[in-house]
Amino acid sequence: MTENLTPNPVGKSVRRVDAFDKVTGAAEFTDDLQFGPGLLYGHIVRSPHPHALIKKLDASKALAHPGVKAVVTGEDTPGFIGLYLQDRHIFCTDRVRYVGDPVAGVVAVSEDIADQAAQLVEVEYELLPAVVDPLQAAQPDAPLLHPDMASYEAVPFIFPQPGTNVSNVFRVRKGDPEAAWEQCDAVIEGEFRVPHIQHVPIEPHVAISRWDPSGEVTLWSSTQSPFAQRDLIAKTLGVSQGDMRVIGNYIGGGFGAKAGVSMEALVVAMARKVQGRPVKLRVTREEEFFCCFVRQGLAAKVKIGGTKEGKILALQVEYYWDAGAYTEYGVNITRASGYSSTGPYRIPNVKTDSYCLYTNHPVGGPMRGFGMPEIHWSIEQSVSRLAEALGLDAVEFRLKNCLRGGDTIVTGMKMHPMGLDDCIQKVADAVEWGQESPPSAPHKRRGKGVAACWKAPAMPPNPGSEAWVRFNEDATLSVGLGGQELGQGTFTVSAQMAAEALGLPFEWVRISRPLDTKYSPYEWQTVASRLTWSMGNAIKAAALDARRQILEIVAQYWDEDKDDLDIRAGEVVSYKSERSLSLKNMVVYGLPLPDDEGWIGGPIMGRGKFMPSYVTSLDPETGQGKRAVVHYTTGAQAVELEVDTETGQVEILRLAAAYDVGKAINPELVLAQIEGGVVQGASSALLEELKLVDGQPVNPSFTDYRIMTAVDAPRKILGEYVEVPQDDGPWGARGVGEHPMIATAPAIANAIYDALGVRFNEMPLTAERIFMALQE
Amino acid sequence: MTRHTINLSVNGVREYAEVPSHWTLLKLLREGLAITGTKNGCEAGECGACTVLMDGEPVNSCMVLAVEADGAEILTVEGLARDGKLNALQQAFVDEGAVQCGFCTPGVLLTAGALLERVANPSEDEIREALVGNLCRCTGYTRIVQAVQKAASEGIGG
């Protein structure tokens, strides 16, 4: 502990605290946990049909199969589950709504036997007409997926429309777009499509559950949301949250797929039938593609107009979200896309209608960007088209219209200080915007494109964070937190913030993991790019609380004023008397008073919490309100690429991305998020689509659903950040985990247009799609 | 169910197991021997998370039957560090920030290590080609490539 100590680590690119375990194989992921020979295994019987009534279910043959311990069906799980809208049974009861909908769960002594027995569960279906497109779902005569919608419970800011397939609607009515069109020198209209894609964490979902005779229920799961899983599953199964324990080890990628509850409730319900025995459920890669969460599809209609002076005057958008069979989480994507529907621009006249539609597609859930990559696909192409129609440069046009601190945004909220204009300028400079370079071969074409973006954490108004810090005898500090390490580096950043606030070297901090709802402090969910900001505030508060306690004790011990004292590099120092005292031992054992008068102090434990207190609701008719969100992170991307006109293949030559992160707590981790997000965005733009034919997924494997490999990924990623502080962020920080994925696809589409003069309104921009377009 | 006796070496340690015919090397390692550093990402030979070295060659251990590994020498991620000291490639992954969620990392380290055994100073193209079978969803690959280059420049293979 003496070598290479890092005092004041905030703002420094310290090494990740989890890296050693991850390069040695020591990092424990959920499937690595050992449960001994008592472990049972589950297998899920899933619907082969996109929409059908369950007429009969007979599990007797499966139950009679040697080695089978239990079969669970919808009869065992009558309640509803859901984060924002409770519209989902754990196991289907009377009907199935997507290919993959769970109808039964078999528990057996081995995975092989569970698989075999699952084949013996007999289910009789009566097929119903399927709804496989969001515009079809919105028709008044469309088959209804949820006839009982009127009885579903929803949070107050979600508005289901019983008797239709609309599970939420969000509207903006601002200014007078109809009158404004008249004043526009150019008006652009377009219809855009974004297909379902999948998160593709390299670790598929896995969970183990055990019910103890005492009534305590334990769930070990690969999860971004141990506390949300505790709350939702406990409520649905009638268990006290105090008796429900969720343990979250390292997770092999999340990207939103492992937020909320997807397959975890299944295994808890299965374990209930075999009390005392742990039951493990692993989804296969094939199941991962369509049986947990997918990204929602989107059909968007956009109309945007501006003046020849370069001012955007009006915007009208309709978003039809293909939200899948259950929209318990997706309803809030619809809302977020509505209140952010303008993109990061000042637009005085806005009409927005955002609809969440049930379809017989896989369950749409949160995915990195939470609706923003999808809507920016349409907004940012439309903005570039409008600039072109007005004869203006795409970068200049964005600089002219982009939001600045103090502006009023689409919902009426006042924008906080931020540096979007700086980001746009930085990425334009990085790709030498305005300068042309010749293609590498005669049959290739080069182009450049730009896109800006914004995203706010989309969440309830009151998601809380809690933290504690606790000293060990040698003055190392254990930090308790409830936010999950998904790979984004939150454990490292948390350790940096705790060390900085307390005055310890970074190397003295230990993160208390794995997460365990029985011992870890509360955290709503690891989603929405909210941890650095929200959990960071809680950790900072906990560290400052411990610091205050230490200074009070030492002040009394030295008979000095605590305002003259400080903690630096693990020592209490007095600026007045120039005394110093090591934290070792005193942070647990306290200090002896002079003349054998006894002792003061004792084990130091600091606690902190954070919850935003200022978020207000929005008017359901106009979408206007005082403050809809906590803040926005903004940024921009620019790309230079080359298209091979003989094959349709796109090569990204350089891709610049810049975000205003408020304060980079760990600059290299910020850049790592940018690089990874950009590649995930580029992969979605060029390669990815979960293909569904009449509701049947046809490409659920890595052979048929390609994600970018090391060969495909752009090589030159130019990441940058600017730092305009967030007033309520720790050291001014705000989140950036999701944002790098948002602007990538539209920037690429704009660059392809620049290269070829062809617009693509539908993703992905596969070589085939580009080649076919060039033949027309 | 027929069971087969398997003798093999894992990270230099002799191991013995009795396994059913259909068990893969991946299952033998993870469930038979509880050596869990090797990860299961698809069980279809497509993601590379389960890559191990078998007699020095990278293989998807989910595509190798355990019986085929009888008598083989297997190297997994647990065998890379010696006495708690990381090898040059592991250290480069830590230093360059080439690790995020860490689930692809074991397979990537073994594939990249095998490349450096074969080619002392690989080009960026060679590194990316070698890693084409190891999917990573977090990093965008940039820092992985940089880490392999760094380890190579220090002249020390996997």
| pLDDT for position A3 | 62
Taking an 8 Å cut-off on Cβ atoms, the answer to whether A251 and B101 are in contact is yes
Q: What is the pLDDT of residue B156?
A: 61
Q: Which of A285, A487, A717 sits opposite B100 (nearest CB)?
A: A487
Q: Show Cβ contacts of residue A166 under 8 Å, excluding neighbours closer than 6 positions.
A: A138, A160, A355, A356, A357, A358
- The 10s digit of each residue's pLDDT in A546-573 is 999 999 999 999 999 999 999 999 999 9
Q: Are residues B15 and B57 in the same domain?
A: yes
- A-chain CB neighbours of B37 within 8 Å are 24-26
Q: Do residue B101 and residue A252 have CB atoms under 8 angstroms apart?
A: yes
Q: Is the pLDDT of residue B130 over 80?
A: yes
Residues of chain A with CATH 3.30.365.10: 19-28+463-610, 294-403+414-460+616-775
- Between CA A631 and CA A416 the distance in angstroms is 7
Q: Do residues A194 and A337 make contact, with C-beta atoms less than 8 angstroms apart? A: no
Domain boundary among B60, B79, B98: B79
Would you call A24 and B80 a contact, using CB atoms and an 8 Å cutoff? yes
Last residue of a domain, one of B27, B48, B79: B79
Q: Which of B41, B127, B140 sits opposite A675 (nearest CB)?
A: B140
CATH of the domain at B114: 1.10.150.120
In a domain, B17, yes or no: yes
- A603: number of Cβ within 10 Å: 13
Q: How far apart (Å, rounded) are the C-alpha atoms in residues A528 and A512?
A: 23
In one-letter notation, the amino acid at residue B110 is: L
A-interface mutation test, from B80, B99, B124, B125, most A Cβ less than 10 A away = B99
Instruction: Tell me the torsion sign for CA atoms A596, A598, A600, A605.
Output: positive
CA A171, A175, A176: angle at the middle one, nearest 5?
95
Examine residue B47 and state whether it is found in any structural domain, yes or no: yes
- What's B14's domain CATH number? 3.10.20.30
Same domain, B92 and B44: no
Task: Look up the CATH architecture of domain A34-128+203-252+258-290.
Answer: Alpha-Beta Complex (3.90)
| Cβ within 8 Å, pair A31-B81 | no
Q: Which two tokens stand for residue A276?
A: 């005392």
Q: Which CATH architecture has domain A19-28+463-610?
A: 2-Layer Sandwich (3.30)
Which residues of A fall within a CB distance of 8 Å from B133?
709
A90 to chain B, closest Cα gap in Å? 25
Mean model confidence pLDDT for chain B: 96
B157 pLDDT above the threshold of 90? no
Q: What's the pTM?
A: 0.98
Q: pLDDT band at B155, cuts 50/70/90?
A: confident
Contact between chains at A23 and B94 (C-beta distance less than 8 A): yes
DSSP conformation class of A740: G
Q: Which residues of chain A have pLDDT under 70?
A: 1-3
Nearest Cα residue in chain A from B84: A24
Residue B52 pLDDT exceeds 90: yes
Active site residues of A: 738
In-domain check, residue B128: yes
Q: What is the identity of the amino acid at A735?
A: G
pLDDT above 90: percentage of residues in chain B: 95
Interface test with B, best of A202, A258, A288 (most B CBs within 10 A): A202
Is the bond into A514 cis (omega within 30 degrees of 0)? yes
Under an 8 A CB cutoff, do A20 and B145 touch? no
CA distance B74 to chain A (A): 15
CB atoms closer than 10 angstroms to residue A294: 27
Give the list of residues 6+ apart from residue A74 with CB closer than 8 angstroms, or none.
A54, A57, A89, A91, A92, A93, A94, A103
The nearest CA of chain A is from the CA of B8 a distance in Å of 20
DSSP string over A502-567: HT--GGGEEEE-SEETTTSPPBS-S-TT-IIIIIHHHHHHHHHHHHHHHHHHHHHHHT--GGGEEE
Same domain? B14 vs B74: yes
Q: Please name the member of B95, B102, B138 whose beta carbon is closest to the beta carbon of A676.
A: B138
How many Cα atoms occupy the beta-carbon half-sphere of A768 within 13 Å? Answer: 5
Q: CA of A681: which chain B residue's CA is closest? A: B140
The whole domain housing B132 covers 88-153
CB contact under 8 A, A202 and B101: yes
Using the 3D structure, point to which of B55, B79, B103 is the last residue of a domain.
B79
Number of domain units in chain B: 2
Beta carbon pairs, A and B, within 8 Å: 174
Residues of A whose CB is below 8 A from B142: 675, 679, 713, 715, 717
A358's CB contacts (< 8 A; 6+ apart) are A97, A131, A137, A145, A146, A165, A166, A167, A323, A324, A325, A326, A327
Distance from CA of A284 to the nearest CA of B (A): 7
Annotation: CATH topology of A294-403+414-460+616-775: Aldehyde Oxidoreductase; domain 4 (3.30.365)
Q: For residue A497, which of A551, A544, A563, A552 has the smallest C-alpha distance? A: A544
Whether residues A24 and B127 touch (CB distance < 8 A) is answered with no
Residue A325 has a pLDDT of 98
Q: Is residue B158 one of the residues assigned to a domain?
A: no
What's the gap in Å between the CA of A289 and the closest CA on chain B?
Answer: 11
DSSP string, A15-70: PPTTHHHHHHT-SPBGGG----TT-EEEEEEE-SSSSEEEEEEE-HHHHHSTTEEE
* B12 and B67 part of one domain: yes
**Does residue B63 share a domain with residue B35?**
yes
Flag if A701 and B99 touch (Cβ within 8 Å): no
Q: Which contiguous run of DSSP H or E holds residue A187?
A: strand A186-194
How high is the pLDDT of residue B158? 44
Same domain flag for B35 and B72: yes
Nearest chain A residue (CA) to B81: A24
Question: Does B108 reside within a domain?
Answer: yes
